[in-house]
Homo-oligomer: A and B are copies of this chain.
Amino acid sequence: MTLVTLLDYAGVAVFAATGALAASRKQLDIIGFLFLASVTGIGGGTFRDLILGVPVFWVENPDHVLVCAAVAVFVFFSAHRVESRYKLLLWLDAVGLAAFSTIGAAKGLAITGSPVVAIVTGMLTATFGGILRDLLAGEPSVLLKPEIYVTAALAGAAVYTFGDLAALPPALSYAAGFAAAFAVRGGALKFGWAFPAYRSRPGRRPEDIP
């Protein structure tokens, strides 16, 4: 098992844990834990593979589903312990984000050769699972929070892609992309980094325009 594969499974497990914790906040039953854990853990990669027109990764190798199921059961019986370590989980989530953004970009670039597509698939792989989790659990979307999250995925995907275009050795491109995403997300976690939001004169709803 290569390091990339290991990081891939780790990412699935951590994202699944955040899905299971959302299920615990909504006081769902064990099946709800399984559902939200799986959607969060494998949703981003599923969407990436659909868009790239390649077989969905967990249909080819269902181990990822089993990882999500194991995490869901574990969290169901220990959510209060897991969430008391939420800070740790956020950092693990940053590892998953960094892993998924580079893995998604690498797959997009390998299949299409297009840097634009690679950056988009890297972003989607890292963020779509969390977006689905929030939609299905009826929680405020990670998209709408001022936290730097999607940006970190973008940074990881872009750095990997440019590294590959610059003909760096694959391991170096992976490492640089991973480091970039983790640094951006970690900085946001540690120092509260945020982009300036669009505040000055936000667009109004059509009916409010005189």
Contact = CB atoms under 8 A, between A and B. Distances in A.
A74 to B, nearest CB: 13
Instruction: Count copies of this chain in the complex.
Output: 3
A196 interface: yes
Interface residues of A, number: 70
Contacts of A27: 197-199, 202
A92 interface: no
Contact of A112 (B23, B59, B194): B59
A201 B139 CA distance: 19
Contact of A195 (B29, B59, B150, B209): B29
Contact of A29 (B31, B76, B90, B197): B197
A206 B209 CA distance: 37
